[in-house]
Amino acid sequence: MKNVVLARIDDRLIHGQVITAWIKTIKAQSILIIDEALSNNIMIQRIYKASAPTNIELVIKTPADAVEWLNEDNPRGNDVIILVKTPERLEELVDQGINIKKIILGGMGSNNTRKQFVKNVFANDDEVGCMKRLIDHGVEMVFQWVPDDKPIDLLKIMK
């Protein structure tokens, strides 16, 4: 089984903060992006793969394929960063036995179903409910833009 060292919710997936801050701090060897649409778009996948550092393996999977990939043997002991756009993807992993100890909430943009949740992060009722279930399952959840920022415990926000 792969060793998940960071799970991050950020609808931008790979971007400057992930590349310049999180990867350097976490020192993972692989990034797993879980996204149904992206997994079927070869052209956008090439753009994402070109933006990743050359020493990092970038894997893009559907939610179903991600579970299988994460459960594969990990003989080199590679550490993995998981990137998703919404908390539901991570709840699916946890429900299927993937060990995620901590989730960092990054950016979730505004749309017509979401309201402000914390700072400039927006979430709808289903997404907030999903985050509550993850916390109830024993997963630590924090809001944190970059590693140097002080994490904000989401449990305290949801009380």
**% of the chain beyond a pLDDT of 90:** 70
The pLDDT confidence band at residue 38, using thresholds 50, 70 and 90, is very high
Strands of the 30-34 sheet, one edge to the other: 57-61, 30-34, 79-84, 3-9, 102-105, 140-143, 152-153
With DSSP H G I counted as helix, E B as strand and the rest as coil, what are the percentages for the chain, rounded to 5?
A: 40, 25, 35
pLDDT of residue 20: 73
* Residue of 64, 100, 96 lying closest to 80 (CA atoms): 100
Distance separating the N- and C-terminal Cα atoms of the chain: 34
What is the pTM assigned to this prediction?
Answer: 0.93
Choice among 1-10, 46-55, 89-98, 121-130 with the minimum mean pLDDT? 46-55
Instruction: Give ∠ CA 129-134-139 in degrees, rounded to 5.
Output: 150
pLDDT of residue 112: 93
Residue with the two structure tokens 């976490």? 26
